[in-house]
Amino acid sequence: MYDFNYHRPASATDAAAARKAAADGVYLAGGMTLLPTLKQRLARNSDVVDLAAAGLAGIGRDGGTITIGAMSTHDSVATSSEVQSAIPALAALAGGIGDPQVRNRGTIGGSIANADPAADYPAAVLGLNATVHTDRRDIKAGDFFTGMFETALDDGELITKVTFPVPAAAAYAKFANLASRYAIVGVMAAKTGDGIRVAVTGAAGNAFRATAMEQALAGDFSAAALDGISVDADYNSDIHASAEYRRHLVGVMAKRAVGEIA
C-alpha cells in the first residue's frame, strides 16, 4: 500500500468534510474491495476516510419499508430478524455474499457504491426497487447503476442508507463463479407493489432488469412462463463463462428464483 492519511470521522457530515478536504480521498466502508485494491497498489489515494464511526449502521422496519444503514454488514443483514421476516430473499442474498469473513466486514453501502458487475446486492437493489439515500439526495434503483463499477454517485457523495419496500414475495438465485464465488449470474425475482421485477447481476457490465421476463411473468407468474425467453444484454465473457453460457444461465436462474416463489 502507498502511504495515505487515515481519518475516522464521527459523523456522516464530518466524513463528507474530510473527503472534500482531501486531495484524492476515498471512503472506506467494509474495505472488502478497497483494501485489496490498495494493497496491490492498484489505487493510490491521498486520504482514506473510514466510515466505521460515522453512525451509518443499523437496520429497521417502518411499515412497508426496510431501512438498512449503509455501514450495515452483510452478516447483520443476513441475521437480522426484521429482514428475515420481511424480505427473506434479501437476508438469504446477504448471507450468500463472499464468505463469512467478508460478510463480517463488508457493508451494503460499500458494495453498491463499488458496483462490481458480479456483486449480489445490485440485483436486490434493482429487483426490489430500493432507494439509495445519500447525504445529498435519494436515488431510485433504476437510476443508480450506470456501468461497470460506475454509479450515479457524484464525487464525494456518501451513501447513508438503502430503503427496500417490502415485496409480496421475492427470491434470489445465484450461480457462483467457483473460484471467486462472485455471481456469474444472479437473478432476483420479486412481486412488488410496483409490479413484477426481475433483476440480473453478474451477466453484463452492470445489473439490469430483464423486462421481457417481467412482462411474461405479469401474465403468468410461473417458471414455465419463462420458457423460450432469451434475454438480450451486452453479456460479459471470460474464462469462466462465455456470453452464450451467461445468457443461458439467466434463464435457468430466473426460473429457479420464480419457482421458489410460485
Partner 1 sequence: MNANTTTTSGIGGSVRRREDSRFLQGRGRYTDDINIAGQAYAVFVRSPHAHARINGIDTAAATAAEGVVAVFTAEHTKDIGGVPTGWQVHSKDGEPMAEPKHPVLAEGMARHVGDPVAMVIAATRRQARDAAELVAVDYDPQPAVVDMKAALAADSTKVHADLPGNLCYDWELGDKAAVDEAFAGAAHVTKLDLVNNRLIPNAVEPRCAIGDFDSVSGEHTLYTTSQNPHVIRLLMGAFVLSIPEHKLRVVAPDVGGGFGSKIFHYAEEALVTWAAAQVKKPVKWTAERSESFMSDAHGRDHVTHAELALDADGKFLALRCSTLANMGAYLSTFAPCIPTYLHGTLLAGQYVTPAIYCEVKAVFTNTVPVDAYRGAGRPEATFILERIVDQAAAETGVDPAELRRRNLIKPEQFPYQTPVALQYDTGNYEATLDQALKAADYAGFESRRKQSAAAGKLRGVGLSCYIEACGIAPSNVVGSLGARAGLYEAATIRVNPTGSVVVLTGSHAHGQGHETTFAQVVSDMLGIDYDAVEIVHGDTAKVPFGMGTYGSRSIAVGGAAIAKAVDKIIAKGKKIAAHLLEAGEGDIVFENGAFKVAGTDREKSFGDIALTAYVPHQYPLESLEPGLEETAFYDPANFTYPAGTYVCEVEVDPDTGRVTVASFHASDDFGNLINPMIVEGQVHGGLAQGIGQALLENCVYDADGQLLSGSYMDYCMPRADDLPSFQVDTTVTACTHNPLGVKGCGEAGAIGAPPALINAVVNALNGGGHPIAHLDMPATPQKVWAAMQSN
Partner 2 sequence: MSEQITVTVNGDTVSARPAANTLLSTFLREELGLTGAHVGCDTSQCGACVVLVDGKSVKSCTMLAHQAAGTNVTTIEGLAGDGGELHPMQEAFRDNHGLQCGFCTPGMVLSAVDLVSRNPDPSEGEVRSWLEGNICRCTGYHNIVKSIRAAAKVMRA
The reply to whether 175 sits near partner 1 by the rule CB under 8 A is yes
Q: Does 42 bind partner 1 (CB under 8 A)?
A: no
Residue 54: helix, strand or coil by DSSP? coil
- When binding is defined by CB under 8 A, the residue of 23, 40, 219, 232 that contacts partner 1 is 40
Closest CA to 153 of 136, 174, 171: 136
Q: How far is the CB of 252 from partner 1 (least distance, A)?
A: 5
Residues contributing to the site for partner 2 (CB under 8 A): 1-6, 8, 28, 31-32, 35-36, 38-40, 48, 50, 52, 75, 98-102, 104-105, 180-181
Residue 31 interacting entry, from partner 2, partner 1, none, C-beta within 5 to 8 Å by type: partner 2
152 binds, among partner 2, partner 1, none (CB under 5 to 8 A by kind): none
Rounded Cα gap, residues 31 and 110, in angstroms: 8
Best CA proximity match to 210, nearest among 144, 254, 246: 254
Letters for 1-30 (x = contact with partner 1 by CB under 8 A, - = none) are xx----------------------------
Nearer to partner 2, 34 or 166 (CB): 34
Minimum distance from CB of 21 to partner 2 (Å)? 16
Quickly tell me which residue has 442474498 as its cell: 93
Residues 188-217, interacting with partner 1 (CB under 8 A): none
Listed residue (93, 39, 81, 70) closest to 202, CA to CA: 93
State which residue, 175 or 208, has the beta carbon closest to partner 1.
175
Concatenate the DSSP letters of all residues of 148-212 into one string: TTEESPPTT--EEEEEEEPPSEEEEEEEE-TTT-SEEEEEEEEEETTEEEEEEESSBSS-EE-HH
Within 233-252, the residues that bind partner 1 by CB under 8 A are 239-242, 245, 248-249, 252
Q: Is there a contact between 116 and 182 (Cβ–Cβ < 8 Å)? A: yes
34 Cα distance to chain centroid: 16
Name the nearest CA neighbour of 165 among 57, 59, 67. Answer: 67
The site for partner 1 (CB under 8 A) is made up of 1-2, 40-41, 175, 178-180, 239-242, 245, 248-249, 252
